């Protein structure tokens, strides 16, 4: 099975929803934010989750001033014949800016549950820890690191680790920004393998544009791929792991 983040991420789960900053009118200081997107492919850590077909995705996050938050993200999926067609990923976590440190890093820890309503045997949970920095080299840039662990990868009881890093920066005041990222995934080879391998690399290079006339609207063109072994795979399966172009339109609200 070829599998996804809230995105997570990575990097590729950078294929997940991007949340707006805040919303008003909720009790106890809560803020609700979210986004919707349409993409030519749903890639999770470099691997297609829709058989290279388009994806419609949406998500929201409910946050408390304490740093606690809960989210839900969803997308269509397609792993082949008689597989689930919907993925719904709830997440719970805690995020806080460490103001006492000069670099003011943002720490984010939590749990993400990958669920498939029509195929619960595929459900699995993953712990994550994120560390990110803003305005390190350029005004408006963003450096992101993420470590994930699961003891039930893809619902088969396999231990797995994923580490990824990404850097994005605006291109002057043009409205364009660039992103580069790389990820590493490893799994218990006795219970799961990536076409015979117990580990692989994935990558993403992207150019995005934020529309000034439509607040929260963004277009992104990305090259996403992996170094997975493709021997023995069908042409369609090869396209799902090799480097390919992915175009995404998203709107935060």
At a CB cut-off of 8 Å and minimum separation 6, what does 237 contact? 2, 230
Q: Report the 10 Å Cβ neighbour count for 231.
A: 7
- Give the residue-averaged pLDDT of 37-44: 98
The confidence score (pLDDT) of residue 9 equals 34
Euclidean distance between CA atoms 96 and 106, whole angstroms: 6
pTM metric for this prediction: 0.89
pLDDT at 4 over 80: no
Terminal-to-terminal C-alpha distance of the chain? 33
pLDDT at 224 over 70: yes
Domains, the chain, ranges and CATH? 13-252 (2.40.160.40)
- At 222, the pLDDT band (50, 70, 90 cuts) reads very high
Nearest CA to 185 among 48, 4, 40?
A: 4
pLDDT at 177 over 70: yes
Unique residue bearing structure tokens 């090259």: 223
The confidence score (pLDDT) of residue 102 equals 86
- Which letter does DSSP use for residue 236 in this model? H
Note the residue count of the chain: 253
- Give the residue-averaged pLDDT of 103-117: 96
Unique residue bearing structure tokens 């995404």: 248
Euclidean distance between CA atoms 246 and 220, whole angstroms: 8
- Give the residue-averaged pLDDT of 30-53: 97
The confidence score (pLDDT) of residue 19 equals 37
- At 7, the pLDDT band (50, 70, 90 cuts) reads very low
- Give the residue-averaged pLDDT of 159-188: 97
The confidence score (pLDDT) of residue 84 equals 86
- Give the residue-averaged pLDDT of 220-236: 95
- Convert the pLDDT of each residue in 13-38 to its tens digit: 333 333 334 455 689 999 999 999 99
């Amino acid at each position: 099975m070829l599998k996804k983040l809230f995105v997570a991420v990575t990097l590729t789960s950078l294929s997940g929803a991007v949340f707006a900053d805040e919303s008003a009118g909720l009790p106890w200081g809560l803020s609700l934010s979210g986004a919707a997107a349409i993409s030519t492919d749903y890639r999770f850590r470099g691997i297609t989750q829709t058989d290279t077909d388009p994806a419609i995705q949406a998500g929201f996050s409910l946050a408390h001033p304490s740093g606690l938050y809960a989210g839900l993200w969803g997308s269509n999926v397609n792993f082949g014949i008689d597989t689930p067609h919907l993925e719904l990923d709830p997440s719970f976590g805690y995020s806080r800016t460490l103001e006492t440190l000069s670099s003011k890093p943002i720490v984010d820890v939590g749990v993400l549950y990958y669920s498939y309503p029509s195929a619960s045997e595929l459900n699995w949970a993953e712990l994550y820890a994120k560390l990110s920095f803003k305005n390190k080299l350029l005004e408006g840039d963003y450096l992101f690191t993420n470590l994930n662990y699961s003891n039930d990868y893809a619902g088969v009881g396999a231990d797995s680790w994923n580490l990824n890093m990404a850097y994005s920066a605006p291109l002057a005041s043009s409205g364009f920004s660039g992103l580069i990222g790389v990820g590493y995934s490893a799994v218990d080879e006795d219970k799961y393998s990536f076409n015979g391998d117990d580990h692989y690399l994935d990558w993403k290079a992207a150019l995005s544009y934020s529309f000034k006339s439509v607040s929260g609207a963004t277009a992104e063109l990305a090259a996403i791929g992996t170094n997975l072994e493709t021997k023995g795979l069908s042409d369609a399966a090869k396209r799902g792991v090799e480097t390919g172009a992915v175009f995404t339109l998203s709107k935060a609200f």
